[in-house]
Structure 1
Amino acid sequence: MRDRAETPEILTRLRRPLRLTWWGMAAERAARAFWPLWSVLAATLAALMLGLQDMVPVEAVWTAGAVAALGALWALYRGLRQFRWPREVEALARLDATMPGRPIASVLDAQAVGATDAASAAVWRAHQARMAARAAEARAPRPNLSVARRDPFALRYVALLALAVALLFGSVLRIGSVADMAPGQAQALAGGPAWEGWVEPPGYTRLPSVYLNDIRPGELSVAEGSEVTLRLYGEVGELAVAESVSDRPVPEEPSAEPNQVFAVARDGRLAVEGPGGRTWEIALRPDSAPDVALAGEAEASAQGEMTLPFAASDDYGVVAGTARLELDLAAVDRQYGLAAEPEARPAIEVPLPMPVSGDRADFEETLIEDFSKHPWSNLPVKVRLTVEDAAGQTGASEPQTLTLPGRRFFDPLAAAVAEQRRDLLWTRDNAGRVAQVLRAVSYLPEDVFRSETSYLRLRVILRRLETFTRHGLTETQRDEVAEALWDLAILLEEGDLGDALERLRRAQDRLAEAMRNGASDEEIAELMQELREATDDYLRELARRDMQEGEEGQQNQQAQQAPGMQMTQDDLQEMMDRIQELMEQGRMAEAQEALRQLQEMMENMRVTQGEGQPSPGQEAMEGLAETLREQQGLSDEAFRELQEQFDRGDRQGQQQGEGQQGQQQPGQPGQQGQPGQQGQPGQQPGQGQGGQQQAEPGEEGQGLGESLEERQRALRDELNRQRQGLPDPGSEAGEAGREALDRAEDAMEGAERALGEGDLAEAIDRQAEAMDALRDGIRNMGEDMAQEGQRNGQGEQGMAEGDPSEESRDPLGRSAGSGGQMGTEENLLQGEDVYRRARDLLEELRRRSGEAERPEVERDYLERLLERF
């Protein structure tokens, strides 16, 4: 049996954890008993710090105070009844329960059986020694302060949240205002009556509030809509307010209400009468209505997008605006299809753009909209701009008549189709006349149509229009036919730009037509840019095609080409700059002659191939480079398809109909005339050409996705064929190149699998991996070829052979290099550190292409270089 003298020693060791356990139990019981009390106190304190007592009548304040006091007393009484201090034995039991085996109870127990037995006593002492050692490691348990079961609606958190908001946005000083509301309070009686007043302007003015106690008597200017707040303290009747600035009924006697709030509506007098009172002459500063006006002429781009500059101002800022365009029927040239009375159409209303940042009190912006497809396009309209300020006041500009900018068609046939579309939208009574004109246009298709597709589409549209007209043309049917005519006009104007030469010719024809029709400077600039881009594409296509042919016939052309026929790219650029300069100066005859000469030179231009046949390694490198370019193009198409998936839902039904049109083969007249077949409105350019075109996004079966999968498979097969034709590697760089090509093929296989499953995002990732691996492979194979040439003694010697004057050059005067490659690597593969120099050049190209301040032409050129290498 344990000696009683040892028991206090054990408790002494456990004094600290025992005391912590006791305090924790006390905190738990206090939280459960008094959480309503501190919730009521926190909510009351938050309301006082936020100044809610200043926003309601005095009676409401004291009523709420009484309710809060009663609630606090009830919560205090409830807490005192439920709370009791924990006893030491309870704390000891809580601490003992946290340890396995309850060692404290075991230490305090006495041996009841076998105390006289020496062996039993020895076992008991050993047991108590182990329990004493375990009890010495006791740690106070963490108190459980959760009262969720007692507060199921979490009212305590609501009170805490209100107190946190008050600490952030309120002030402790506001609590003192409650004392001023006490009737007959001692301070008011001792100091006499007092008053306070504020003038608060409307929030949208961003003007500061005015504290009337700091304003001397006299004239006071305030903004329209300002709110005056006056509070009178002391005995009722000692102070009163007399004013003539609000819309309140004028009382016979000044008002002695303790709290008065009114808005300033006019000039007048404001006075606080009584001890310490003041008088002000209020001068109302009116809120002026906003102003808006056109700031320039309306202009149109080559694609028909209108830009209309305007200027708006307001004393405090404009919040919104609207542009309203109405047809000016009196100014319309009522000839041909416009001679009939037009169908009623609502005015065009578009929101005006507002500055995203900055001051809206005085600004200039530009309205940019495209009204090319509207029936009023290129017709006179009346424009009226309206703006609104925060006070709801509006301002409008004077109506001005201008020609509604829209897309202009420079192709005569496209312009004729667009004009008939406008006549059909002008009134449905023109349907018969429109059908007659379209039938006359298509009488000799071989003379006016460049492609069979355009002619077939026009015939289908014509038959649908005639069918609808016989049975009564509805608005929906008219709009469908008008949409189909618009698509046809775009196709006739732009043509099929997939062929580089056709695009070049189309750009030249459109520019020549623009010269004859007196196009604007903006249209001329965009058409010139289109001509430059088409010229670049044509030159690249010629170079690529002739390099792939590699036949002796091309060498004969080089021998026949005179040196004087060569021209540099600077010469081409100079000619196009000269053409644009002549057009801007109004010298159209000279510009047309210069354009004709440029057309002749471009028609006669050929890219010749250099002497000598490329080596197998060079052919393999060229093939890998072409594979990389095709993979890049395939990835771009997959990315565009991924973007189009987001807006397919709204167009799916229409585009499924277009997919059926795309399957229509030329030469099936029985199907051409059926509604819903070929020629449906919305049919895209290029459909109906023997099924060679790709399906539109959104069609059933995901035709584009299947096409991408097949092209990816063909590209992977081509890479496999090129890998098998590579020469044996002669260095570590060659082995690394082959490994990189293996990775590229695996990535292509993953992209092909993802395309087959319709997972475009995964396919794009795999295609990016394939392109990275291809670049690594090309770089490593190039290093291997360079090292092989140096080992065979064919480095600088091979490059020095031959007469530079006999090298083949393209029509721009550039050397075709060895192996038919454009350019030459002379001075780039000399020296011991050529690879470091190549990396430095590549990094410099990337740096310059990322500098936004460089001209767009230069950055485009740098990007083309990066795509090639």
Structure 2
Amino acid sequence: MADHNPEEREATSIKFDILKNIDRLRLSAWLMIALERLWPLLLPLLLVISVFLSVAWFGLFRLMPDLARQALLALFLLSIPVCVYLLLKFRLPRPSEITQRLENVNELAHQPITVQTEELAANSTDPFAQALWSEHRKRMATRIANLQSGLPQTRIAERDPWALRGVAALLLVIAFAFSGGPLGGRISDAFLSHAASNAIPPRIDAWVTPPRYTGRAPLFLTTASNSADTQFSVPQNSTLVVRIIGGSGSEALTQKLSDGKSVEIAARETPKIEDSATGKAAPRNFELTLDQNSSIDLVNGRSALSSWGFTIIPDQPPAIRFTKEPSSAINGTMDVFYEIKDDYGAIAAQAKIEQALPAEKDARPLYSAPELPLALPRRGEQAKETKTTKDLTQHPWSGSEIRMTLIASDDAKQEARSEVKTFVMPERPFANPLARALIEQRRNLALNANAKPNVLEMLDAITMWPEETIKNSSHYLGLRSVRSRLDLAKSDEQLREVVSYMWDVARGIEDGALSDAERRLRQAQEALKNAIEQGASQEEIEKRMAELRDAMKEFLREFAQKAQKNPNMAQNPNAKQLRQEDIDKMLNQIEELAKQGSKDQAQQLLSELENMMNNLQMGQQQQAQQGQQGQMKQQMDKLGELMRRQQDMMNQTHRLEQQRQQGMQQDFGEEQQGEQGEQGQMSEEDIAKALRDLQQGQGKLQSELGQLMKDLEGMGIKPGEGFGQAGKSMGEAGKSLGQADGDQALGQQSDALDALRRGGQDMMKQMQEAMGQEGQTGQGDQRQTGGRDPLGRPQRDGGPDDGTNTKVPGEIDIQRAREILDAIRKRLGNSLSPQMEKDYLERLLKFN
């Protein structure tokens, strides 16, 4: 029993190893049989898919017309069910087929593999049979120890003797590599209609056009130099254009903003006649404005074609400011000095003008604020001071107080404002009082049409006694015609016509003394100015320039003739500085600017030319009147010196009288101590003696006044009652000083000073009439005296005199006068000052 067990265990072990090896072989054989049966059935489907992919990747679908493409696609789609039907014939290998394959592959007879899995009949108890069976299995096991499953035998070569399957595989590999190139196709091409498919690969052109005002050139993104770059910096509001020619037509452009949002840009097809044979897609344009940082992606389906990133350079707002206070030229034109800053240059600038004082209640103005466009600096230049000259003297607002604000804007619609300046709008200076009065009424009517009754009354008042006030009959007729037109005017439009007519009449009254050459020059200048403002043609500009050149030559010829007759005119510095070549150069520049459309620069240069002519005319008038004015100025200086000495004597009398009343205890300050020195403590006798000493000086002033009156009579000027009253008051003051009555002398000296001022006003009026200026000096004198009388005070027709601007010509300047007024006010504010001193100081402030 012990011997039998080892043999049985050995037999069992051998059987187990054999069965294990057979199971592995059977699995391998099962796979081989399955592959042999499946591969011939699966190969047609793979070949169909391979051919389809090759046709798509080679781009053949895009080359075919729609009908051929659809037919081929249908053929492929129909072949798929056939191939799938073949797959249904597949059968899994049975165990007997696996055993048979192993035995056939290994050329085994007597079925040795089958023997290993079989058993003796259950009813067999014969030991010999069992031993024989066991021995047989052992012998069969030795035969299957090194079995092989063998290789699959699909027999494809028998079905495909030409190896077309290899060609299909080779084409598939080549097509896959070709699809990555620019001409490669896509699988989706088979399902796209001919209108959306194109055999030609898309050509992409992309560029960025900055705004024109930046002066920057377009940036081409698809050039060889920029193709490797993906990040660009462009000005704000630049336009990106992506143009696609060819392609499938399914390209899309997407903008990714900095906040993460994505916006799809719609394409705009350009008009193009399509080729019916090829059905190519029309070119498409994508346009969008770049106003913030973003990235742009161009894709075709899921394929990325191009990508760009843009950093936006913001457009900074402009800045404008005054560099100087607005001023006026000698002819009344306005000069505005300013500076404009902008990164790309301002596109427009203007001065906004409005009334400084609010309009009266229920006022009905006939005109709006004047327009004042400003000249712009050239683009790209550094910020510098710019000047604009504009003649607004004809506007009814001239002469009134206005507020001006400078406004500049750029191409990005950004606006800047300057600080506000308040000043009096320049006006044309009218020397003739009649013209000046008419201009004043014109302004009143233009600012308020409801003032029509008042203007009519003033015109009636002006023309009430024409025999005494209006020496020129044409001036009287002009004023009466203005009155008639105004009376008949009913609507605002008719009133505006009257306002314009009043300006013409005033100019006629003022310029009536002009020579023909001067009048023609002004008319030519005005005609050229209007032509430039209205944007006239080049022929019109040339015509107006020819008229201006002729008028200029005639004026200069007349001026030269007058200079030969009057030697004083040769001393005019304006005439020495003005040369014919300078005028010709300026005229040529004006003509070129006008033809080029630079209206603002041409107007500014024309205004400068007018200023030069006005300066020349003013110098002519000044030199012609120099001799007569010299004598009259000498007499005015004498009168000013006489008044100053009378003022000093009055001050001395006041100090002596105040010391008397204060009992010699009041200290009059450092200035008085310096004058009196050791006499700061004066007795009553000393004061009386000092007052009597002043009598001699007062008498000398009286005699000099008498000599001045005689000199005036020699010049044909009759001394007025003021001088006579002044001489009488001086004599009475001398008597009071001789009696040591300082208080009485102070009042008489004050009366003498007031009388001298009245006499000076009457003397000035007679001097003006003697010079033929009817009440006021001309433009040249007005420029020198500032519209003041010989004593330095504003004239009566220029407004009320408050007494604070009194000035003695040639002796006391403005700074000294201010110091005196400040000292007087300081003494008035001192609570310790005696009442008598305060009364005297108040009288000084009230002097007219």
> What TM-score range do you get, normalising by the shorter chain?
0.3 to 0.5
- Structure with greater Cα Rg: 2
Structure with the larger RCO, 1 or 2 (CA within 8 Å, 6+ apart): 1
Give the TM-score normalised by the residue count of structure 2.
0.33
